[in-house]
Amino acid sequence: MGLLPLEFTDCLTDSPYFRENLHAHENELDRTSQAIKGIIKEVKDLLNAARNLSRAQRNLATSFSNFRLECIGNSQTDDEIVIAGSLKEFGRLLGAIEDERDRMLENAHKTFIEPIERFRKEHIGEAKERKKKFDKETARYCQSLDRYLSLSTKKGDAHQKEAFAGLEMEKIHFFKASLEYVLLLQKVQERKKTEFVETILRFMYGWLTFYHQGHEVAKEFNSFNTDLQVRLQKTRENFEATHSEAEHLMKKMLEKPQDSGCLNKMYTRQGYLFLMEKKHLTTIWNKHYCQYQKENRKFTMIPYSQTVGKITTTDTFCLKECIRRMNDSIDKRFCFDLTALDRPGATYTFQALSEDDCKQWLNAMDGREPTTAPPGRATRQEGCLLDETGFAFVRSCIEAIEERGLEDQGLYRIVGVSSKVAKLTQVAFDPKRTENIDFMSEEWEVKTITSALKNYFRNLPEPLMTFRLHTAFISAAKQENKVKRTAAIEELISQLPTDNQRMAALLIRHLQKVSNYASSNLMTVSNLGVCFGPTLLRPEEETVAAIMDIKFCNVVVEILIENCDKIFKAFPQKEEVKAATGGSRSLDAVQGTQSSEVMLRKRPTVTDHFSPALSTDGPGYTPSVSELRAYTGRPYTQPHMEAKRYGSVAAACQAIRASQMPTLPSHPATVTGYNSSRP
């Protein structure tokens, strides 16, 4: 079982469970630091004691084999599994070449010991320093909160406002320190899988060259080294993507703070309250972390203080009623009484952290104080829909990209100028537009078109793979067997709405074509997965756990590209009728009913296709059986057989057109979902 993700929302709630999870991450860093120290010690012994080289080398191999790279989450990608097992492979290799060693160790200290010590001191040491700052801010905030809540109602308003302002400032500093500390822990945990293993990898490369008799073993190990280096590069790219998403989420939460009491959907409300307890001739207020479930009216109290950091007991009772305490009935502010249904005569008096917090608790427990609704989610950009306009826009973008930029380096990774991208998107989806957009014009750079295409999918109200199937896609990507993984994703694609399947087929076929030019544009299947994974499988809720799953979103896109022909075999290559005006190089104005009417008016009959030949070739022209079958969907006899009845081939075709043949578009290859076996 890996470490649980440290959610930024948990920093705001600062629950006991968050603290326990935080301690688990800290213990893991301490264990890693100690393990790294152990490895460094073994290497130094190896360099300093040549006569004990064999024994020291085996100890190092054992240290490698026992070293564990814990992952965040319950599942690992194929690359992470290989990276996590790479140290065991290194240990096996050291054991195999133990008898073939040499004394050429001059570069070992520079290539291994210095980088790994630098990693431990800079990254793990930075995490320890940040922990001290976090603990300091925690203590300051708790002390400030205690002082603020200890103010008597007899104090003046000016004094209370000053105390409240000081508390808010300490609270902001505490939340900032907490978020930054969590982000740093995530960063260090992820970097262990890249920088640390890369350091080991460089050492292994150098170490193998010191053995005159170990060249054959080194050759056998080269394939593993190369594969590991590619996987490390992919893992680093995934880390860069997830880290940027995590930073964006952290800044978003700092800019727009949310009510910490309603972030956990398991509980109607949760947070810290102070419980009044009577002791002989006085009363004391003890800090409790409380959770309330409205469905069964269960109220849970956990005595806990962040400075102590230890969960002792948990008390749960069934809530009967909640009554707000009047200010003149108690010398504390923000107080309310709870009566237990299963404990006759038992009444609990709590103090909330603020006036707003008190109102939120009263509202959650059917009190008399109202509450404000949590802030709503930001809406996606209007206009980006899976409609005919969207399909026309995507097709036009794809055709322009394939004609102008398939060999451009960094295609889809180099972004266009924001103002130009916004202008292209605005013009393309403007319902009042009457002229066509010429995507082949030099006005629109290829990077502008690629950015606009990515923005279209990013701004859909629901991602192309839908929120409903998001978890299923991630689970499919986590399967260990690649065949089962592909089959599961193929099944999920078939469960998408028809328009989503059509659009996915259109896009993935294009991405497959882009990957075929990887030698020129450097956009491999893996790189395209990084570009489109987070967009096509956007999570419904932005969390750290969702960010950690981005790597599996990339895997889904990679599988779709690699198995495009198999997964989208039900969709023909050219599934849409080209626009009647503007050709394939421009985005036709398909908004509204005007385009539909034009398409209906210009829909030709099957014999219209043969009319030029009939007029020029005369009776000598004979359409083949395959041509007639393709355009009619029926096993018609050849026209020269019917000519005996009607007198000529032209007359036979005219009779067929008048009596039998249905109205069809000008070519069957341009008909969506055309089936030649249909009657």
Quick: pLDDT tens for 139-160.
988 888 888 888 887 777 888 8
User: Does the pTM of the predicted model rise above 0.85?
Assistant: no
Residue 429 sits in the same domain as residue 284:
no
Residue 615 sits in the same domain as residue 658:
yes
pLDDT-based confidence at residue 468 (cuts at 50, 70, 90): very high
Q: What pLDDT score was predicted for residue 352? A: 92
Q: What pLDDT score was predicted for residue 662? A: 39
Residue 247 sits in the same domain as residue 268:
no
Residue 66 sits in the same domain as residue 206:
yes
Q: What pLDDT score was predicted for residue 598? A: 29
Does residue 370 sit within a domain?
Answer: no
Handedness of CA 170, 175, 176, 181 (dihedral sign): positive
Give the count of domains, the chain: 4
Q: What pLDDT score was predicted for residue 629? A: 40
Judged on CB neighbours under 10 Å (0-12, 13-18, 19+), 543 is middle
Does residue 103 sit within a domain?
Answer: yes
Does residue 432 sit within a domain?
Answer: yes
Domain end position, chosen among 523, 547, 567: 567
Residue 100 has pLDDT above 80, yes or no: no
* Mean pLDDT of the region 452-475: 92
Cβ-contact 166, 143 below 8 angstroms? no
The interaxial angle of helices 215-255 and 550-562, nearest 10 deg, is 120
Does residue 354 sit within a domain?
Answer: yes
667 to each of 104, 546, 572, 645, 653, how far by Cα in Å?
74, 46, 14, 28, 17
Residue 526 sits in the same domain as residue 449:
yes
Residue 604 has pLDDT above 50, yes or no: no
Residue 428 has pLDDT above 60, yes or no: yes
Can you tell me the distance from the alpha carbon of 447 to that of 444, in angstroms, rounded to the nearest whole number? 8
Which CATH number goes with the domain that contains 524? Answer: 1.10.555.10
Sequence-separated (6 or more) residues with CB below 8 Å from residue 560: 489, 493, 504, 508, 567
Nearest alpha carbon to residue 429 among 466, 392, 379? 392
Can you tell me the distance from the alpha carbon of 276 to that of 301, in angstroms, rounded to the nearest whole number? 13
Q: Residue 291 — φ and ψ, nearest 5°?
A: -135, 135
* Mean pLDDT of the region 224-230: 85
Does residue 342 sit within a domain?
Answer: yes
The domain containing residue 561 runs over which residues?
A: 388-567
| Tokens (6 digits) for 608 | 């219209």
Residue 513 sits in the same domain as residue 617:
no
Cβ-contact 585, 604 below 8 angstroms? no
Residue 90 sits in the same domain as residue 211:
yes
Residue 514 sits in the same domain as residue 465:
yes
pLDDT-based confidence at residue 493 (cuts at 50, 70, 90): very high
* Mean pLDDT of the region 440-466: 92
Residue 104 has pLDDT above 60, yes or no: yes
From 140-149, 485-494, 532-541, 664-673, the region with the lowest mean pLDDT: 664-673
Q: What pLDDT score was predicted for residue 588? A: 45
pLDDT-based confidence at residue 674 (cuts at 50, 70, 90): very low
Domain end position, chosen among 314, 332, 364: 364
pLDDT-based confidence at residue 400 (cuts at 50, 70, 90): very high
Residue 438 sits in the same domain as residue 506:
yes
Which CATH number goes with the domain that contains 287? Answer: 2.30.29.30
* Mean pLDDT of the region 538-567: 88
Residue 584 has pLDDT above 70, yes or no: no
Residue 81 has pLDDT above 90, yes or no: no
pLDDT-based confidence at residue 625 (cuts at 50, 70, 90): very low
Does residue 270 sit within a domain?
Answer: yes
Residue 412 sits in the same domain as residue 440:
yes
Does residue 493 sit within a domain?
Answer: yes
Domain end position, chosen among 519, 541, 567: 567
pLDDT-based confidence at residue 452 (cuts at 50, 70, 90): very high
Mean pLDDT of the chain: 77
Residue 95 sits in the same domain as residue 194:
yes
- 3-state secondary structure at position 353: coil
Cβ-contact 175, 343 below 8 angstroms? no
Residue 96 sits in the same domain as residue 229:
yes
Residue 515 has pLDDT above 90, yes or no: yes
pLDDT tens digit string along 187-207?
A: 888 888 888 888 888 887 777
Nearest alpha carbon to residue 151 among 160, 162, 139, 141? 160
Top-ranked range on mean pLDDT: pick from 310-324, 382-396, 631-645: 310-324
Q: What pLDDT score was predicted for residue 512? A: 94
pLDDT tens digit string along 264-300?
A: 778 889 999 999 988 766 788 889 999 999 889 999 9
Can you tell me the distance from the alpha carbon of 496 to that of 493, in angstroms, rounded to the nearest whole number? 5
Handedness of CA 209, 212, 213, 215 (dihedral sign): positive
| Tokens (6 digits) for 55 | 């024994």
Can you tell me the distance from the alpha carbon of 402 to that of 450, in angstroms, rounded to the nearest whole number? 11
pLDDT-based confidence at residue 593 (cuts at 50, 70, 90): very low
- Torsion angle in degrees (nearest 10) through CA of 656, 679, 672, 602: 30
Does residue 20 sit within a domain?
Answer: yes
